[in-house]
Amino acid sequence: MGNVVVSTVIERPIAVVWDDIRRLDSHVEWMADAETIRFLTDDHAGIGTRFECDTKVGPLRTTDVMEVTEWVEGERIGVRHIGLVTGVGAFILHPVDADRTEFRWDETLSFPWWFGGRIGAVVAHPLLAAIWRRNLRRLRQRLESQ
């Protein structure tokens, strides 16, 4: 599918943003397409954490299985998608200044042939980018209203 990258600047220090996104189960509070997260491991943070995420995009529903592959405190969470959709993704934080944080969401996903394969990926690319931009707006509003 190629790479989908979306980003936003949040008017909060990087420590505040990290404290929120490090709680993986809280992602359903700002990701409109993520309905439920169920942990498959005892650990709920750090490399090796595995979880299922029930995802809904329009009429389509799937359970996305993910494993945390990168965990750099205050900077980055990387995941590998293992379910119907495969690929890798990352949340990357960069300080803009002492009070503002750039949040970048970077995903590379592949769809199975029966889900459209490369054609499905081409169609999904702008839709997913729009959904993820909306999710980042929701995260920004949530954090800036605290």
Per-residue pLDDT tens over the stretch 38-85: 999 999 999 999 999 999 888 878 899 999 999 999 999 999 999 777
SS3 102: strand
pLDDT digits (tens, 9 = 90+) for 107-129: 988 777 666 666 666 677 788 89
Q: In terms of C-beta distances under 8 Å and separation of at least 24 residues, what long-range contacts does 118-126 make, across chains too? A: 118/1, 121/1, 121/2, 122/1, 124/1, 125/1, 125/2, 125/4
Q: Which domains does the chain have, with CATH numbers?
A: 3-144 (3.30.530.20)
78 contacts 59 by C-beta, under 8 angstroms: no
| Euclidean distance between CA atoms 136 and 31, whole angstroms | 8
Please tell me the chain's helix, strand, coil percentages from 3-state DSSP, rounded to the nearest 5.
Answer: 30, 45, 25
pTM (predicted TM-score)? 0.91
